[in-house]
Each structure stands twice: as C-alpha cells, then as structure tokens.
Amino acid sequence: MPELPEVEVTRRSFRDAIVGARVQSVRMGKPLRWPLGVEPQALAGRVVQEVRRRGKYLLVDLDAGMLLLHLGMSGSLRFAPEQGAAGVHDHFDMQTDHGMLRLHDPRRFGAVVHVTGEEDPLAHKLLDGLGMEPLDPASFRFERFAAGLQSSRTPIKQLLLGGKLVVGVGNIYASEVLFLARIDPQLPARDVGPRKVRRLFDGIREVLALAVAQGGTTLRDFSSADGMPGHFQLQAKVYGRDGQPCVGCGRPIRMLRQGQRSTYFCAHCQK
Ligand SMILES: [Zn+2]
C-alpha cells in the first residue's frame, strides 16, 4: 500500500508540471472506491491551481472545485506529456494541455472524488479525522503528541497506525520508528516514558523525511508519477527482516501480529 512518503513523492513528481494546466477531457475506467461525483466532461476547461497533500490524499485545486485523489492499496499516478492508450487497470485519465494525469490501480481501492472545496461535506468526511502532519512543523506539535500518548491505553504501534493522532506512520514506518526509539510495539501508549516519547516524536519526523528524500519505498512495487522507483526499503532496519540479526545487538528480529498487521521488532533492544 502506498504510504505517506510515496504519496508526497508522487505529489512532488508532478506538481510543477501540472500547475497552470487546463483540463481538456476526463475519462473514467471501471468504478473506483467512490464515484467521481460529477460528469467527467464537467471538468473540461478547469485550470489546475495547486497540488497539495493531506494524509494520503492528494488535493488537486482547480479554479473551481477540487479533486481528492487516493491511491488505495495499489494505485499509482503518472503524469507525462504523452501516454499510450489506457490499459485495463487505468481507471482515471485527465488530459490537460500540459500532459495526461493517469491513475493506474489494479485493485481499485483508490479513488478520485470531485468536491466543491475543503468546505464540502464530503471533503470534511474524508479529511476531518486525520491526525497531525508529521512533515509540517506547524501541525506536528510535541505537546499534542505527548498528550495523545498519555491519554491512550492502545498498544503504541496500533495507536500510531490508526492515524488519528499523527498521519503517515503506516505499517513499515511504525516498525522502523519504534525500533529507532527502542520502544516495545506492544506497550500501552500511556506507558511510554518521557524520554522515549521525545525520541519517538523525533524519529517519526526523521524517518518520514528520509523516506521522502529517498523517493519513498518500493516494498509494494511503488513508483512515483515520473516512474522513478523508491529506495527506502534498502534502509529498513527491522521491517521484513524476521529472523535476521538485529543491527543493534545481533539477536534475531522477531515478527508478531497486531490487529491484522505484521510488526517487526527486536525484543532485546525494544523494551
Ligand atoms: Zn536488538
């Protein structure tokens, strides 16, 4: 599943190229997770003003209205001056005078939704529950983060994964940041000590920023909208390393299930 760094890398890969572009036509393929909400041709003539991100949603601001894009489980976006004929898994093509934005999504859990703007009830429904933005210092505040942990008995890994306190700490990054902060992923959030809360807060910012700088992760065949693969997977210290030696102590990395998700950790280093 594309995680926040991949979505941010995707955003950066086509933002400059598409801003100022005028929409010429829109073609929808098979149904995605949610309907577009407007006749595709109604978008013709609109001009792209900005491409922003909130959590794992991309917000494409038009001169009237906005598109909310989500990559779901298997989606990827590509923006290029020329693209070939739509394939069987291409379910959204937006042709502009700068090129075509195409959503390729084999599993179709992704979505493209048209709303009037951020004040649209549907936009509220999709975006309101999202936690702080870890890459935005104005949003990601230590005091709020610490208070969120203090008031929760949920195991820390699952609290992070839930996305209501802070977005973007998906399954891969949750394992990695908890290893860096030396925190047992099963520990109730309120029992994480103050020094480790600080380490965790710093670790989330650093790991996600590093993942973005490195182009996201290709753990699940991710590539950004300009077709470049990510490299974060090369740096993973615990994720996917079940049975391999811990880089800290040499003991084997262990895997356990929390909720329906795999957690990787070192039982010796993370207490
Ligand atoms: Zn270890």
In the chain, residues under CATH classification 1.10.8.50 are 142-265
Does 107 belong to an annotated binding site? yes
pLDDT at 232: 57
Q: Which of 139, 132, 114 is nearest to 28 (CA)?
A: 114
CATH superfamily of 4-127: MutM-like, N-terminal (3.20.190.10)
CB 218 within 8 A of CB 233: yes
Does 104 belong to an annotated binding site? no
Q: How far is CA 3 from the centre of its chain?
A: 3
CB 171 within 8 A of CB 177: no
Per-residue pLDDT tens over the stretch 30-44: 999 999 999 999 999
Tell how far the Cα of 140 is from the centroid of ligand 1, in angstroms. Answer: 29
pLDDT at 219: 47
DSSP-assigned letter for residue 45: T
Q: Residue 234 is which amino acid?
A: L
In the chain, residues under CATH classification 3.20.190.10 are 4-127
Tell how far the Cα of 164 is from the centroid of ligand 1, in angstroms. Answer: 29
> Residue 79 corresponds to which tokens in the numbers above?
């923006």
Tell how far the Cα of 246 is from the centroid of ligand 1, in angstroms. Answer: 5
Q: Which residues are catalytic?
A: 2-3, 56, 261
pLDDT at 172: 86
CATH code 1.10.8.50 for 142-265 = yes
Q: How far apart, in whole angstroms, are the C-alpha atoms of residue 64 and residue 115?
A: 10
pLDDT beneath 50, residues of the chain: 218-223
pLDDT at 221: 42
